[in-house]
Amino acid sequence: MKYDTIIFDLDGTLLNTLDDLKDSLNYALTKHGHKPRTSEEVKSFVGNGVKMLMRRALPIHSTEEEVEKCLATFTSHYKTNMQNKTGPYDGIMELLQYLDKNNYKLAIVSNKFDSAVKELAKHYFDDLISVAIGESPDVKRKPAPDSILTAIRLLGSDKNKSLYVGDSETDVQTAKNAGIPCVGVTWGFRTRETLKNEGADYLIDEPKELLSLI
């Protein structure tokens, strides 16, 4: 077994969260007098945490006070609407069930706020993934390697046996900073070209292709 520890990003990798993120973002934007954003715009904004999502969605000269005000509205709305349209990508549940059955150690690390990461992980992957880490004051946001290294420690594993799977340039950078290989998935929020240019070690177009790498 080349790798026995697989660490996954969440949004755009395991779960298609785009529509729920867009709905909550646009709820906050319109409530505070700003124009709503399209799915393609929201897709390009995600990946660096909810505060950066809000900064990118608001007009460029928005004050920090306006960012915080809209962010509070977004977070409150998203907490009770994060499972309306969200679901695993095709093939993800079969992949995770296979990995679990064959005793791989599995974790999720995400720049989404920690309570949402834990809730979504429990709802969709409760029996399959034991460690789920989101953004919090205790763990630096990706691309800092802290979340990956924390997950590896909690799983009782080591870097030499670990692989990271994600859909964005932030994920590739995080894996590099942690010193482990990165598998870029092309079904998420970024293009194959973006992942290739960022230096992903592997690229896969379907979840089952991961099995040939491990």
Residues annotated as part of the active site: 9
| CA 174/CA 164 separation, integer angstroms | 9
- Long-range (24+ apart) CB contacts under 8 A made by 39-43 are 42/18, 43/18, 43/189
Task: For the chain, state the CA radius of gyration.
Answer: 17
- State the virtual CA torsion across 194, 197, 198, 203 in degrees, nearest 10: 70
Strand order of the β-sheet with 162-166 is 131-135, 105-113, 5-8, 162-166, 182-185, 202-204
| CA 213/CA 99 separation, integer angstroms | 13
Contact criterion met (CB below 8 Å) for 213 and 42: no
Kind and range of the H or E element at 174? helix 169-178
